[in-house]
């Protein structure tokens, strides 16, 4: 059973960089066939896909966040990381790390294993 666990600071100040780490157990981030996504949910709103990274380190970002977002892998620790720069209060959200998989090819990626999520408030 794949398990994902997010960790990071309890609070980030506006204009700073939000950094989160996701530790994966029960599976390897180096395994082919999967992507590893970050998804967030801001208060009172729906879910927003932020971006993902492949097992070999290739990244794809949501264009709405691309200029501020970086996702990376640490295969030695079986972790993925997120860095979101120049944050504002609008970046206050629950952040999830999520395994991304497709059974039916490029048209069919979905999110099968989710971390429990971590709330990151952005406040001065």
Partner 1 sequence: QSVLTQPPSVSGAPGQRVTISCTGSSSNIGAGYDVNWYQKLPGKAPKVIIFGNINRPSGVPDRFSGSQSGTSASLAITGLQAEDEAEYYCQSHDSRLRAYVFGDGTKVTVL
Least CB distance from residue 65 to partner 1, whole Å?
9
Please state the closest distance from residue 18 (CB atom) to partner 1, in A.
Answer: 19
Q: Is the dihedral of CA 6, 8, 10, 16 positive or negative?
A: negative
In 3D space, the residue among 17, 27, 40 whose CA is nearest the CA of residue 96 turns out to be 40
Shortest Å distance, C-beta 15 to partner 1: 25
CB nearer to partner 1: give 90 or 124.
90
Residues that bind partner 1 (CB under 8 A): 37, 45-49, 62-64, 96, 103-104, 107-112, 114-117
Residue whose CB is less far from partner 1, 37 or 81: 37
Which residue, 59 or 114, has its beta carbon nearer to partner 1?
114
Tell me the residue ranges of DSSP E strands in 1-124.
Answer: 3-7, 18-25, 34-41, 47-54, 59-61, 69-74, 79-84, 93-102, 109-114, 118-120
């Amino acid at each position: 059973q794949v398990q994902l666990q997010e960790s990071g600071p309890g609070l980030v100040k506006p204009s700073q960089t939000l950094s989160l780490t996701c530790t994966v157990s029960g599976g390897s981030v180096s395994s082919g066939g999967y992507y590893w996504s970050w998804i967030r949910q801001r208060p009172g709103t729906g879910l927003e896909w932020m971006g993902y990274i492949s097992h070999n380190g290739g990244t794809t970002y949501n264009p709405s966040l691309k200029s501020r977002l970086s996702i990376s892998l640490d295969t030695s620790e079986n972790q993925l990381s997120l860095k979101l720069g120049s944050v504002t209060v609008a970046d206050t959200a629950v952040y999830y790390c999520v395994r991304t998989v497709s059974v039916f090819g490029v048209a069919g990626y979905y999110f099968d294993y989710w971390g429990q999520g971590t709330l990151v408030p952005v406040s001065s």
